[in-house]
Amino acid sequence: MRKTVLITGASRGIGKAMAELFAANDYNVAINYNKSEEEAEKLHRQLLDKKYNVIKVQGDVRNRSQVENMVNTIYSRFGDVDVLVNNAGIAQQRLFTSISEDDWDLMFDVNVKGMFNCCQSVLPKMINNKQGKIINISSIWGLTGSSCEVHYSASKAAVIGFTKALAREVGLSNIQVNCVAPGVIETEMNLHLNTATIEELKSNTPLRVLGSGRDIAEVVIFLASSRANFITGQVISPNGGFVI
């Protein structure tokens, strides 16, 4: 039976790469977006043209009622959510002394509360079905911290702690919860970096390249597969050796 994956923040970047790979591997794919309707519709149309089973579902992951409506829409179309990928996230570079309370709250609302909302919305059916996969997207900065990104690093560290604790709690229901902590990836989120910074990041990466969205998608689809049934509560960091 074909399985269903919900990918939050799937209209571009890493999320888009994941949607494309899951669809090509015969999953039903729910493409979540919040404000990027044009990008989501373009991706949706491209995948439909390839005869893949996909829907696009709008929803702000910070808003519990929107998340629940989104999940119910997926249930009505595909029956279950077998795999949840909490990918929706934001980043911001700012000196710690310049971070406002609103900056801090927004970072945690999207990166942490959004994950919480999505997990609580899909887990009852996963527990009832005695199976499910949850993959949360963190960052190497959640592992090491990054200057001028204290709030971002803290939120991504929270994703890691959340993953480990939830994996212990739902393991008896045969649900695997894992975390992927990407290194520096060539996505729109990093377009603000100048050429000199990009070259420095490459030189500090043993493989001397930055990652792609596809690199991360390949790790995520492995964790979503039956090959990863004995893996839970783990953090996998595809980063080209940037952090060892």
What are the start-end ranges of the H helices in 87-203?
Answer: 101-108, 114-129, 140-144, 150-170, 195-203
Contact 94, 106 (CB under 8 A): no
Nearest partner of 122 among 158, 171, 164, 73, judged by Cα: 73
Give the H/E segment covering residue 14. helix 13-24
Task: Kindly name the residue from 27, 33, 52, 152 that is annotated as catalytic.
Answer: 152
Interacting residues of 239 by C-beta distance below 8 A, sequence separation 6+: 140, 181, 182, 183, 184, 205, 211
Residue recorded with tokens 């887990």: 123
The helices-and-strands tally (H runs, E runs) of the chain is 9, 7
Contact 23, 54 (CB under 8 A): yes
Q: 152 catalytic, yes or no?
A: yes
Contact 140, 183 (CB under 8 A): yes
Contact 32, 59 (CB under 8 A): yes
Residues labelled as active-site residues: 152
